[in-house]
Amino acid sequence: MAYGYNGKILHINLTDETYEIETPDELFYRTYMGGGCLGAYYLLKEMKANVDPLSPENVLVLSASVVTGAALAGFSRHAVTCKSPLTNAFLDSEAGGWWGPELKFAGFDAVVIKGRAKNPVYLYIHDGELSIKDAGSYWGKVSGEAQEQIRDDLGEKTARMLIIGTGGENLVRYACILNECRHSNGRGGSGAVMGSKNLKAVVCKGTKKTINIFDKDTVKYHAKWFADNYLDNPACKSNKIYGSSDYISQQVQFEELPTKNFKYGSIENGENLSGKYMAGTILQKTERCYACQISCKRVVKTDEPYNVDPFYGGPEYETIAAFGSNLGITNIELVAKAHELCNKYSLDTISTGMTISFAIECFENQLITEKDTDGLVLEYGNEQLIIDLIEKIAHREGGFAKLLGEGSRIASEKIGKGSNAYAIHTKGMELALHDPRVKTGVGLGYACSPIGGDHVVVEHDNDFDEFAPQIFVDQAKPLGLLKRVNAKTLAPEKIRNYVYLQNHFSFMDSLTLCVLTFAPVRAFSMKHLVDMVSGITGWETSLWEIMKLGERRVNLAKAFNIREGFGRKDDMLPKRMFETLTKENSEDAVIDENELNQAIDLLYEMMNWDKNGRPRKAKLHELDVSWVIDEIYT
């Protein structure tokens, strides 16, 4: 009997509306386990090189893991994996909420989708069965309206679904996928991939409400332990009280809040964007993901002038910074409205905000004029402009909005005139709102991650520097990280930290676990993790095996990019990061380009990659993915 997983993976071809069920053996599950690692396997196995990401040939993988659905905090997530229409590179994007466990309850561990439906459809997965249903009446509707109508029509008010809105349907290259209309697979444009396949939603409903667990007592023990102890952890306590928006206050204090397209690190009245300020003004309540006590999700409501609907939740740190300081705005109500609109239309808030800030800086420097912007005057701090542009981008209304819907890299290529200096991206994905000049490990992640400008590649540098709580440093020691490391250094000790923490975060993405509940920074320790995976699956596993899972995913993703033509030239930060970030009250910050290049060279050596970033044959053999050699050595 299999424990933790169903042993069934659903393969669907939307072109001819056929499907089959794959039943892999235990060796397959123990090798890939789930999430982004499983997704990378199918992208390399099932898709040819150099396909158009918005063509029927792109493969869309929706995956839980061998532990998803256990009633434990942090075991709620799922991954969406595909070729990104924003970067043309590997993409996996994780989200919490409720969909991942429901997929498991409905009888499957993953869904692999190919082709393109002739007309809009949605998938209904229920108790081991699949129905492909007409979605014509929902197409063109915002996410919330479509979700509730689908539930009504199915007669299943508690069905969980992945869904897209107008932005996904209109193929905005950074469109996201939502579940419950407030949990987002946000980065890289997976929502546009769904739209390109004429796929409105993937709905799951299972009769059973648990997964097969080898040792139920172990799971019960850890569930109770977390409930009794998580508030003793400073990071978990902070997320409980203010959510990720609490991070705004720290960024304001240390002048590290990305402002006006990363030109500055602070903005006047920045504290008005903080979690504390939100809690005293527009916060209505908090919500949780499946089986989690933290309840870090914000739900906000405002009246005139913005009338924000709490149905769509509330903004987290990245959204607040993207539409707040990044656009010269400190009005939390405007940020909440921008968040609501992005969730209605299924737009990634980071790329939306960053692409708008790119356009504003181009306008300020007279690289574009009102003739190019369909008459719009672009300026920082203009609240109505932000709302108008989100609406126009989602609907692809006008030539300028269509251009912005391509993302900042493609837009800069079309504008020319040196505008690429204002496109703050790596591999085409706009940077998340953390400055590499003050967190060099995050900067290495932006540069070297196969995905691009993603901030969830390693634990952030300040969690191990001289100011970090001792508990964070202590909980990292099972990884062999025994000492504090300066947040701004690019010395070999930082590269070592990056390699180990990258593999750690990668196995979290493969097991579809939430980083907000696990060590080294959150409450569950490394030992807890190993005990829980063993208790759920019945496997006598170890931190070594789990770290190797993370390393396997990193190398599979890197191999995918190598096959797509990416190499050393693509592992680099945008030009702005080599400009000085001037601070009034603390030391200025800058990255030296030569030093960064030397750090990346050393990283490649530590990872056993060649000078172009290609995993060496020996490494692929060692990770037991020898089959990848034929994909990248031809």
**Rounded Cα–Cα distance for residues 112 and 628 (Å):** 19
Q: What pLDDT was estimated at residue 131?
A: 98
**Alpha helices per DSSP H over 538-616:** 543-563, 593-607
Domain assignment present for residue 427? The answer is no
Contact 520, 500 (CB under 8 A): no
Residue 493 in domain = yes
Burial of 556 by CB count in 10 Å (0-12 exposed, 13-18 middle, 19+ buried)? Answer: buried
pTM, two decimal places: 0.98
Would you say residue 100 lies in a domain?
yes
Q: Is residue 412 part of a domain?
A: yes
627: CATH: 1.10.599.10
Is 431 inside any structural domain?
no
Same domain? For 548 and 614 the reply is: yes
Dihedral sign from CA coordinates of 181, 257, 354, 448: negative
- The answer to whether residues 196 and 251 belong to one domain is no
Residues 445 and 412 occupy one common structural domain: no
In the block, tokens 């994909």 appear at 631
* Among 94, 97, 6, 81, CA closest to 40: 81
Do residues 322 and 408 touch, judged by C-beta distance below 8 A? no
Q: Residue 557 has what pLDDT? A: 98
Q: How far is CA 295 from its chain centroid?
A: 19
Please give the single-letter amino acid code of residue 612.
N
* 310 shares its domain with 407: yes
243 sits in the region (left: phi over 0; alpha: psi -120 to 50; else beta) called left
Residues 260, 196: one domain?
Answer: no
| pLDDT value for 586 | 79
Q: Is residue 226 in some structural domain?
A: no
Is 577 inside any structural domain? Answer: yes
Q: What is the tens place of the pLDDT at every residue in 445-492? A: 999 999 999 999 999 999 999 999 999 999 999 999 999 999 999 999
- Give pLDDT, residue 189: 98
Residues 248 and 382 in one domain: yes
> For residue 343, how far is the Cα from the chain centroid?
15
pLDDT tens per residue across span 527-577: 999 999 999 999 999 999 999 999 999 999 999 999 999 999 999 999 999
Query: What DSSP state is assigned to residue 477?
Result: G
The span from the CA of 450 to the CA of 560, in Å, is: 9
Domain presence at residue 545: yes
CA distance 18 to 553: 29
Q: What is the dihedral angle through the alpha carbons of 305, 343, 165, 156, rounded to the nearest 10 degrees?
A: -110
Residue 99 near residue 147 (C-beta atoms within 8 A): no
How many domains is the chain partitioned into structurally? 3
What's the Rg (C-alpha) of the chain?
23
- My answer on whether 313 and 396 are in the same domain is yes
DSSP type of residue 354: H
Do 49 and 136 share a structural domain?
Answer: yes
CB-based contacts of 618: which residues, under 8 Å, 6+ apart? 608
User: What span, in angstroms and rounded, lies between the C-alpha atoms of 611 and 592?
Assistant: 20
pLDDT of residue 585 exceeding 90, the answer is: no
Residue 312 to residue 163: CA distance in whole angstroms:
13
- DSSP H/E element including 429: strand 429-430
- pLDDT confidence tier of residue 311, bands split at 50, 70 and 90: very high
With H, G, I as helix, E, B as strand and everything else as coil, classify residue 478. helix
Task: Provide the domain limits for residue 591.
Answer: 440-632
Q: What CATH number corresponds to the domain at position 73?
A: 3.60.9.10
DSSP, res 20: E
Q: What 3-state DSSP class applies to 241?
A: helix
- 339 and 407 assigned to the same domain: yes
Question: Which of 150, 185, 205 is the last residue before a domain boundary?
Answer: 205
Instruction: Report the C-alpha gap between 575 and 572 in whole angstroms.
Output: 9
CA–CA gap between residue 18 and residue 11 (Å, rounded): 9
Q: Per residue in 105-156, pLDDT tens? A: 999 999 999 999 999 999 999 999 999 999 999 999 999 999 999 999 999 9
Q: Is the peptide bond before 615 cis (omega within 30 degrees of 0)?
A: no
Task: Examine the fold and report which residue of 205, 233, 249 is the final residue of a domain before the chain moves on.
Answer: 205
